[in-house]
Every structure is written in C-alpha cells, then in structure tokens.
Amino acid sequence: MRLLRVLTAAIALAALLPRPGAAQEGRPFKDAWFWGIKGGGQLYSSATTEHSIAPSVGADWLITRSRAGLYLSFDQAFLSTTGQFLDRDTDSSFFRPVELKNVRRFQMAAMVFPMQTPRYHPYFGLGLGLSQIGSANFSGSFATPARYQVALDSVQSKKTSFSPTFIGGLQVRNPQFSLFGQVVGSPTQQRFFLTAPGNGNSVSFSFEGGIRYNVGSSIDRVR
C-alpha cells in the first residue's frame, strides 16, 4: 500500500508540471533528467511454481549525458506462491514450506546510448539489483526454541538476493512525454526463494513499459 500511495502522489505531481508538452519539445535527450512511471510483469519460479508472471509497478529515474548515463529504479511485483527451505531437525531433515507474498526490487545501472536519433533512443545498461520478498511465513511446530530460531534464520537468508542487472530498451520521444519499453534480466542464486529447486543459478526476466518526462538538465549551465 505504501508503494501505491507513492505512485499516486507521483502521478499527481506529474499532472501539475507546467506545460509538459512544451518542455518535452524544447529539451534534448542528452544531458537530461527523466522521471518515469512503469508497469509490466516479472517472470519468476519457486518451489511450487515454474515460469509464472507477476504484475509489477514502479518508478524510475534516468540521468543522461552525451553517450552514457545513470539509471535508478524501484518497483514491486505482486505474487503469492510457496517456497521452501531445508529444515534439519534432531531426528530428520525435510523441506519446510514457506508462504511468500510480493517482492520489492531496487536497481542501479550505468547506461550507454548507441545509435541515437532525434526521436528514437535505444539504451543498454549494466548494474546491480537488490530483490527482497515482502513477507515469508512458515508454519508447524518445533522441538525447541533454538530449532525455531534456526528455521527463522534460514528464512531470512533466503528472502533477499543481490545480483547483477542487465537492461535493454528503447525510448521514443513524443511531444508531451516519452514512451519506453525495456527488458531487465537478473541472475538468481539457488539460495533465493524465487528460484526453482534443482536449477542452480537461473535468470529472472522483467518486461516493462511506461512513460518518462524530461524535467530538466542534468548539468549546470554556464551563466
């Protein structure tokens, strides 16, 4: 709900920007600061689900220079699935199920802008991403409080994944705003909940689209 409130406030702020059409027409793609909102789908797997798509919403910031730039993004995917972890009890070892809900992701990447035209702006990026499960709850009884704490530590260690991020996309300039579409890929480790068991390292993909406003220059002008 907090993310939805932030997005609602951001959309309202964008609507209050003075004459966005004129600003967009008069500002080039390079040396600019873009603010955007996006939606799409994130491909994921878990112990009980393979190659499912979770809807996602988010916001991003793109800072451009002549041939390179910086990208920052925050989004949330809405999902409900079941993961698992290996629970070693005093008498046996077994996989304990964990109910998972939603995943938040923060990304930062260095960008390059090849083959630019006045209207079409392809881009590629390489950076780092942090993914975190919103909630992870397990059930069942434990022989001792110490065993419960060990299980809790196991869940916490599998809730978060920190991995490289690869981005490829295209931004199209229009009179009032820019449209964009992009694909984001991130390797996921076996220890992360959103990885199918037995697959080792895999790659999670996101397909995103949205709008970006050119809100100003990314460099200080000489006065």
| CATH (domain of 139) | 2.40.160.20
**Has residue 223 been placed in a domain?**
no
Per-residue pLDDT of 153-193, as tens digits, reads 888 889 999 999 999 999 999 988 999 999 999 988 778 98
> What is residue 141's predicted lDDT score, i.e. its pLDDT?
73
**Has residue 27 been placed in a domain?**
yes
> What is residue 5's predicted lDDT score, i.e. its pLDDT?
54
User: Cα–Cα distance between 216 and 27 in angstroms, integer?
Assistant: 8
pLDDT of 11 higher than 50: no
Per-residue pLDDT of 197-211, as tens digits, reads 665 557 889 999 999
Amino acid at 142: F
**Has residue 89 been placed in a domain?**
yes
Distant-in-sequence contacts of 47-54, Cβ < 8 A, 24+ apart: 47/82, 47/83, 47/84, 47/95, 47/97, 47/193, 47/196, 47/197, 48/81, 48/82, 48/83, 49/81, 49/82, 50/196, 52/79, 52/81, 54/78, 54/79, 54/103
Quick one: pLDDT band at residue 92, thresholds 50, 70, 90? low
pLDDT of 53 higher than 80: yes
Kindly state the DSSP code that residue 115 receives in the 8-state scheme: S
Residues 6 or more apart whose Cβ sits within 8 Å of residue 223: none
Quick one: pLDDT band at residue 90, thresholds 50, 70, 90? low
**Has residue 220 been placed in a domain?**
no
Q: What is the pTM of this model?
A: 0.81
How crowded is residue 148: how many other Cβ atoms within 10 Å of its Cβ?
A: 14
Quick one: pLDDT band at residue 89, thresholds 50, 70, 90? low
**Has residue 221 been placed in a domain?**
no
Q: State mean pLDDT over 99-104.
A: 96
Choose among 16, 27, 123: nearest CA to 68. Answer: 123
Range of the domain at 8: 2-215
pLDDT of 16 higher than 90: no
**Has residue 11 been placed in a domain?**
yes
Task: Evaluate whether 191 touches 158 at the Cβ level (below 8 Å).
Answer: yes
**Has residue 222 been placed in a domain?**
no
Outline where DSSP puts E strands in the chain.
32-44, 52-64, 68-88, 93-112, 120-138, 160-173, 178-188, 202-217
User: Cα–Cα distance between 43 and 185 in angstroms, integer?
Assistant: 10
First-to-last C-alpha distance (Å) of the chain = 44
**Has residue 199 been placed in a domain?**
yes
> What is residue 147's predicted lDDT score, i.e. its pLDDT?
80
Count: domains in the chain = 1
Q: State mean pLDDT over 103-108.
A: 97
> What is residue 72's predicted lDDT score, i.e. its pLDDT?
98
Kindly calculate the radius of gyration of the chain based on its CA atoms and give it in whole angstroms: 21
Task: Evaluate whether 89 touches 143 at the Cβ level (below 8 Å).
Answer: yes
Q: Report the share of the chain in percent with pLDDT over 70.
A: 82
Task: List Cα–Cα distances, 186 to 16, 53, 93, 205, 214, in angstroms.
Answer: 35, 15, 31, 7, 28
